Amino acid sequence: MPDLKLVRTNFLLNLVAGLVCLLLGGLFVYQEYVIAVHSETLVEIQKGIDRDAAVDRKNVTDCARFVRDVNKCMEVSTFLDVPFNEGALVVELARAQQPQSTFISFEYSRGKAAGAAAQSIIYEVNLRGSMSASDSRSAPQLIDGFVSNLESLQMLRDSGASVELRSSARDQELGLFNYAIRISLEQPAGGGVNEITAYYAFTQAVPSGGDFGAGQCASCGRACIALRQP
Amino acid sequence: MLVSVLLVVALVLRYDNLEQLDARMQKAQDRRESIDRNNRFSGTLANDLARLDVYRARIDAALVEPQNKASNLAYFYELGSQCKMAVRRVEQKAAPPPQGDPKKIKPEFTYFEPIVFDIGVDGSFADIMRFLGRMDKDRFLVRVDKLSIKRGDVLAGRMESADIVLTALCALPAKDK
């Protein structure tokens, strides 16, 4: 029955072609629909972006200004941050001495530690004076007492400075003991404050220390900065 | 058959369009997200900036102007006479160049330029202390890098003499462009 087969094949071919055509048509329509929806969304988003662009630009420049100014302030506070105030220290030292003691000279210096890689700052005080004996104690005893007085000074204890008696020698002529005491402290440069690179809103209080606090942001976990009330 | 072929061609052509559109949409969405994120983090930024400006203005007002050398030196003489002591000498000097390899060591100053004042004063112990204290809290941002106090001659009225080396901060010179 060739006829029948021919008819059947023809019919089937047409059917398949029709189906393929219909399928492609459907796909085309669907694709057009997606394109239309996406373009509309894009227009919407773009509109929002255009609306907020000015605010965003301000946020970005403000943020850059904040970062620059904070680092500037931090640099000042690092610059001014010394473990003890030299003037106050002189006064403390003068208070800690016994009536038998007289200062000859006081030298304070702040300097970089030697060595190319050394990043630390050395604070050094060289104190020279003379001590006479008291009624009950000899001059060397008084000098030792003075050194231990210095060691227990709150100001020096807080900063972790070390006190050392460099020399103590008898002045034959005057019958006094001349002493030299060295107070020294080595600290890492920079005071451990890192520059911040971005502004992140803070959600919790930050560690104390000066006017600014550097710490970890509670929400983003990155290095952050927050200000204290001026 | 012909319709199918045309449809395939149209589909393929329009698919390119769709891809471009999607790429643009992705970009726009990323931008949107970044705006939102910036906005979220900037909630207290204006407030913090206003507070920061107070500090910044205070710092800017306390910077030394190295070109006004005579005024700077006069300031220290004036401070000395306010503390009733003699200022022997004041010198304004350039700060020594930083030591060490700048690649390895972070320079101490990024936003400022240091300047050094070398001061010699004579006065009583209390006056010298007052001078130091006043200077610390007064006009300039200064740090004492060296302080040496020596007892004066008993015959010369027991005045102490002190040498002070200060570092102060100046604004960075404007960049030439």
Residue A113 · residue A120 · CB < 8 Å:
yes
pLDDT at B41: 76
Give CA–CA dist A3/A108, Å, rounded: 119
Greatest alpha-carbon span in chain A: 147
Question: By mean pLDDT, which of A33-37, B63-67, B82-86, B171-175 is the weakest?
Answer: B171-175
pLDDT of residue A2: 55
pLDDT at residue B120, as a whole number: 93
Nearest-by-Cβ selection for A105 from B35, B40, B149: B149
Which residue in the set B99, B132, B146 is minimally distant from A87, CB to CB?
A: B132
CATH topology of domain A86-190: Alpha-Beta Plaits (3.30.70)
B37 contacts on A by Cβ (under 8 Å): none
Q: Do residue B49 and residue A66 have CB atoms under 8 angstroms apart? A: yes
Mean of pLDDT over chain B: 83
More confident residue, A169 or B52: A169
Residues from chain B that touch A224, judged by Cβ atoms under 8 A, are none
pLDDT at A197: 65
Q: What are phi and psi of B44, to 5 degrees?
A: -110, 10
Mean pLDDT is highest, among A145-149, B11-15, B135-139, for A145-149
Q: How far apart are CA B147 and CA A96, in angstroms?
A: 19
Region B67-74: what's the mean pLDDT?
A: 90
Give strand ranges (E) for chain A. Answer: 101-112, 120-131, 162-171, 176-188, 212-216, 223-227
Using CB atoms, pick whichever of A27, A62, A76 lies closest to residue B169. Answer: A76
Mutate to test the interface with B, among A10, A33, A86, A178 (most CBs of B within 10 A): A86
Alpha-carbon torsion angle B88, B134, A159, A152, nearest 10: 80
Pairwise CA distance, residues B24 & A32, whole Å:
17
- Chain A's closest residue to B114, CA to CA, is A79
Are B51 and A118 an interchain contact pair (Cβ–Cβ within 8 Å)? no
Per-position pLDDT tens, chain A of length 230: 456 777 788 888 888 888 988 998 898 899 899 999 999 999 999 999 999 889 888 888 888 888 888 888 878 877 877 888 888 888 888 888 888 888 888 999 988 776 644 578 889 999 999 898 888 888 889 999 999 999 998 888 888 889 999 999 998 888 889 999 999 988 876 544 456 666 665 543 344 344 455 544 444 444 455 544 33
Most A CBs within 10 Å: which of B29, B36, B41, B166, as the mutation test of the A interface?
Answer: B41
Tell me if chain A has a CB within 8 Å of the CB of B144.
yes
Tell me which residues of chain B, numbers 93 to 122, contact chain A at a CB-CB cutoff of 8 Å: 99-101, 104-106, 108-112
Q: Which residues contact A68 (CB under 8 A, 6 or more apart)?
A: B111
For residue A36, what pLDDT is reported?
92
B8 interaction partners in chain A (CB closer than 8 Å): 24
Nearest to B40 by CA among A58, A216, A200: A200
Task: List pLDDT tens digits, range B138-176.
Answer: 788 888 999 999 887 655 556 788 999 999 988 887 764
Interface membership of B2 toward A (CB under 8 Å): no
Q: Determine the pLDDT at residue B154.
A: 56
Domain spans of chain A, in order of start = 86-190
Determine the pLDDT at residue A145: 92
Asked whether B82 and B134 are in contact (CB, 8 A), the reply is yes
Partners of residue B22 in chain A, C-beta under 8 Å: 38
Q: Phi first, then psi: what are they for A227, rounded to 5°?
A: -105, 145
How high is the pLDDT of residue A228? Answer: 44
State residue A83 phi and psi, 5-degree precision: -65, -30
Say if CB A179 and CB A149 are below 8 A apart. Answer: no
Query: Which pLDDT belongs to residue B27?
Result: 92
Of A41, A53, A106, Cβ closest to residue B25: A41
Query: Largest Cα–Cα distance of chain B, in whole Å?
Result: 123
pLDDT band at B101 (very low <50, low <70, confident <90, very high): low
pLDDT at position A48, please? 92
Considering Cα of A148, then A149, then A155, then A158, what sign does the dihedral take?
positive
Exposed / middle / buried, residue B10 (Cβ in 10 Å: 0-12, 13-18, 19+): middle
CB pairs < 8 Å spanning A and B: 190
Nearest to B7 among A28, A53, A112 (CB): A28
